[in-house]
């Protein structure tokens, strides 16, 4: 691939900005500088306020008319965890043994650098149409002030793309073995059952909230949500937290607690909607504990970009570079594709994700270069089909 951007060097510059959500730490300024030098018009968009914001976002565009293709991704990263678990400084962007090591190397600053490298080659070709980058700083966090309000801004400014590729690390074992064409939805619920503490020897004088919470969880877990379908694995409900006395615990062995709480998460396929699952959770909780406190948040709905011309185009670009025929999948967690899909067809393709969110997160230098070549191949097919 030809072009004036070294994706590894740019990825290093981005990793050296410790952009742990919601901080930007200069990452988007690095990106803006690279894109401005290529001739992109860059808009810096800040949304929200404390505690989850403000969030820095970036929209960059070049060209006009159709087709309008967009790359989408995020510059924010998860915390490093225990620094002692790392063999290098997480934000030094160290290169060792043919790999770039650092927080965000895998998820997903290397992919953003590959976007820019492909964009440089695209600009050099003088292609018709419009190319854009939609970059948020709030994908790893609550996602309240990132891609969702950016899409509203795009709509208001008549800048909605025709197609979008998200650069999440979708490959499983080797670069090119998997493309994501959809995702399951996600819903979280926080359940707090209120009781009255008392001596365990006199249960008639107390109200043990644990008893009712256990009944709620047993009823929720007893339901088989579905068996999956041709594109989605079965939906699953998991209990992700349990606590009594508001998280303070109960050091006494002879006393029942005053409150008992649990958090659950459901990853659901397109047999369900978030609203229907929320209604079921509320009914189940009310049946066993009518006065319980209940908070529910739907993080995203299940969606599928029906396999067809777009996924085939991306797959062809992957095969040209890697020789692999990628599997089309809906596995894994949520991504910002869940927001983008309401405006245009969206698929996801990026690096192998084995090290994302781990200590010594890393990406192969060869994979970064190959990813830039794949993204360039996607642009060639979109703009010169």
199 is in an annotated binding site: no
Name the 3-class secondary structure at 124: helix
Q: Answer for the pair 264, 237: CB distance below 8 angstroms, yes or no.
A: yes
Cα-Cα-Cα-Cα dihedral sign, residues 27, 32, 35, 38: negative
Separation CA 312–CA 174 (nearest Å): 19
To the nearest 10 degrees (0 to 180), the angle between helices 309-322 and 365-383 is: 140
68 is in an annotated binding site: no
Separation CA 14–CA 34 (nearest Å): 11
107 is in an annotated binding site: yes
CA 183 to chain CA centroid, nearest Å: 10
272 is in an annotated binding site: no
H-helix or E-strand spanning residue 296: strand 293-300
- Could you say which DSSP state residue 98 is in? T
270 is in an annotated binding site: no
- The neighbour count for residue 365, using CB atoms within 10 Å, is 17
Contacts (Cβ under 8 Å, ≥6 apart) of 302? 182, 183, 184, 185, 232, 268, 269, 270, 272
Residue of 13, 56, 76, 270 marked catalytic? 76
| Summary count for the chain: helices (H), strands (E) | 9, 19
Separation CA 249–CA 261 (nearest Å): 11
139 a catalytic residue: yes
Separation CA 93–CA 16 (nearest Å): 6
Separation CA 22–CA 13 (nearest Å): 19
Which positions make up the binding site for Zn(2+)? Answer: 74, 107, 140, 168, 357
Q: Among all residues, which ones are annotated catalytic?
A: 76, 139
Which positions make up the binding site? Answer: 74, 107, 140, 168, 357
């Amino acid at each position: 691939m030809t072009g004036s951007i070294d994706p590894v060097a740019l990825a290093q510059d981005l990793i050296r900005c410790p952009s742990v959500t919601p901080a930007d730490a200069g990452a988007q300024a690095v990106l803006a500088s690279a894109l401005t030098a290529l001739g992109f018009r860059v808009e810096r968009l800040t949304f929200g306020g404390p505690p989850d914001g403000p969030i820095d976002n970036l929209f960059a565009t070049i060209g006009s008319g159709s087709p309008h293709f967009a790359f989408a991704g995020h510059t924010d990263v998860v915390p490093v965890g225990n620094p002692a678990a790392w063999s290098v400084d997480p934000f030094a962007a160290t290169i060792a043994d043919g790999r770039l090591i650092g927080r965000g190397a895998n998820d997903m600053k290397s992919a953003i650098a590959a976007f820019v490298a492909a964009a440089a080659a695209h600009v050099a070709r003088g292609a018709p149409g419009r190319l854009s980058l939609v970059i948020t700083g709030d994908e790893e966090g609550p996602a309240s002030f990132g891609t969702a309000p950016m899409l509203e801004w795009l709509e208001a400014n008549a800048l909605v793309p025709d197609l979008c590729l998200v650069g999440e690390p979708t490959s499983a074992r080797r670069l090119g073995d998997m493309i994501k064409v959809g995702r399951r939805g996600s819903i979280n619920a926080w359940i707090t059952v209120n009781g009255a503490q008392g001596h365990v020897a006199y249960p008639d004088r107390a109200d043990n909230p644990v008893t009712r919470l256990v009944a709620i969880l047993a009823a929720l877990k007893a339901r088989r949500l579905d068996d999956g379908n041709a594109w989605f694995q079965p939906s699953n409900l998991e209990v992700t937290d349990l606590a009594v006395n508001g998280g303070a615990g109960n050091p006494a062995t002879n006393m029942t607690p005053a409150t008992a709480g649990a958090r659950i998460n459901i990853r659901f396929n397109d047999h369900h909607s978030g609203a229907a699952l929320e209604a079921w959770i509320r009914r189940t909780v009310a049946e066993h504990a009518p006065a319980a406190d209940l908070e529910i948040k739907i993080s995203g709905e299940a969606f599928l970009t029906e396999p067809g011309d777009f996924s085939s185009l991306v797959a062809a670009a992957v095969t040209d570079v890697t020789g692999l025929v990628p599997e089309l999948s809906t596995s894994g967690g949520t991504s910002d594709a869940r927001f983008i899909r309401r405006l245009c067809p969206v698929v996801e393709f990026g690096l192998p994700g084995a090290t994302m969110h781990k200590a010594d997160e890393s990406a192969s230098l060869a994979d970064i270069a190959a990813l830039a070549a794949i993204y360039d191949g996607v642009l060639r097919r979109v703009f010169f089909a």
